[in-house]
């Protein structure tokens, strides 16, 4: 873990090319803003998928976030409007009817790109060098899975897939067994975990160990910018659901863990494990079956994170969001 209070320098940074695949969502919003605020990351594009809310809203929200960050240079693409096999499940009860409830939003001025997200992802990866691009899926894995199925030649182009999803020690958050992103499209998650691409997973096991406080949200608002104000309003709305559900003093903010790991991997600790995804059982559909103790004999296919320097995580987000 990074020592508390260690300084971070933004000079002489090495830029990492990433694609953010997302279904914004307030916690997706913070992840996107964190990435756009960080010079270490070159966001090649944002690909949208149905999940927290339907696709017309996830694309709208991604455009609004690029405008909020004054990053109209980042292209946004519409992807899959439903999971590969199952009907779409959404989460308006958590995120509100727009997905970004909390602040007041105008309609976006930016426009979507014409290409389908999966087509653009494939073309971008085929044009990259081996191991050049990291994919950060922070919603259901439909777009990523379809790209892998349609064009297996993209596999060596991907340095890592750093994703938020699943749970082992804490179970699920949409059913007793399944976390939302995996539950929405378990068949896509199954494809991704069997793809052979190096995967880092930020599951509920780690995101539930970093809970927002009212004091931190107040600090975010006190930045005094539109980004800080709207981010605080989004998170104040968002955390109410988990606080009511778990009886905690604050709620987890899941998706920014992926971006924080790219920026400061020392904030996190985990273990190389084999992960399989349940796609058949009605009782455990979408469960991430984590062979944490190596009982199944399968080679690891994932780095499963379980430890986090929570103070460092929240310090990093506050520091970077203040730059926008």
Q: Hey, which residues are catalytic here?
A: 254
Residue with tokens 């559900």: 245
Eight-class DSSP state of 177: S
Alpha-carbon distance 257 to 234, whole Å? 17
Q: CB atoms < 10 A from the CB of 34, how many?
A: 26
- Residue 173 neighbours by CB under 8 Å, 6+ apart: 167, 179, 180, 204
The rounded distance, in Å, linking the Cα atoms of 44 and 134 is 10
Whether the bond between 275 and the residue before it is cis, its omega within 30 degrees of 0, is no
Task: Provide the token pair at 37.
Answer: 């605020």
* Cβ atoms < 10 Å from Cβ of 22: 32
Are the CB atoms for 204 and 254 separated by under 8 Å? Answer: yes
Whether the CA torsion 120, 123, 127, 131 is positive or negative: it is positive
Tokens of 73: 């240079």
Q: Report which secondary-structure segment, H or E, holds 47.
A: strand 41-48
- Map tokens 């992103």 to a residue: 181
CA–CA gap between residue 158 and residue 198 (Å, rounded):
8
Tell me how far apart the alpha carbons of residues 271 and 302 are, in angstroms, rounded to a whole number. Answer: 8
């Amino acid at each position: 873990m990074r020592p508390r209070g260690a300084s971070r320098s933004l000079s002489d940074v090495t830029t990492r090319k990433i694609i953010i695949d997302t279904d914004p969502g307030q916690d997706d919003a913070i992840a996107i803003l964190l990435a756009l605020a960080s010079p270490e990351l070159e966001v090649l594009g944002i690909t949208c998928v149905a999940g927290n809310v339907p696709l017309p809203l996830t694309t709208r929200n991604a455009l609004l976030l690029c405008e909020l960050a004054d990053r109209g240079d980042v292209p946004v693409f519409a992807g899959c409007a439903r999971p590969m096999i199952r009907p779409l499940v959404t989460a308006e009860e958590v995120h509100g009817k727009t997905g970004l409830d909390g602040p007041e939003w105008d309609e976006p001025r930016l426009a979507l790109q014409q290409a389908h997200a999966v087509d653009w992802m494939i073309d971008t990866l085929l044009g990259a060098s081996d191991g050049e691009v990291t994919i950060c899926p922070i919603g259901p894995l439909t777009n990523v899975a379809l790209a892998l199925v349609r064009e297996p030649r993209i596999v060596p182009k991907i340095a890592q897939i750093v994703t938020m999803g699943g749970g082992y020690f804490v179970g699920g958050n949409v059913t007793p067994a399944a976390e939302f992103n995996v539950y929405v499209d378990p068949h896509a998650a199954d494809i991704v975990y069997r793809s052979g691409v190096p995967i880092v997973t930020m599951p509920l096991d780690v995101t539930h160990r970093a809970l927002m406080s009212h004091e931190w949200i107040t600090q975010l608002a006190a930045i005094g910018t539109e980004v800080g104000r709207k981010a605080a309003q989004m998170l104040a709305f968002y955390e109410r659901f988990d606080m009511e559900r778990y009886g905690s003093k604050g709620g987890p903010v899941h998706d920014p863990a992926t971006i924080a790991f790219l920026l400061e991997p020392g904030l996190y600790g985990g273990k190389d494990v084999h992960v399989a995804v349940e796609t058949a059982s009605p009782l455990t559909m979408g469960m991430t079956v984590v062979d944490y103790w190596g009982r199944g004999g399968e080679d690891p296919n994932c780095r499963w994170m379980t430890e986090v320097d929570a103070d460092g995580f929240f310090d990093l987000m506050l520091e970077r969001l203040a730059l926008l």
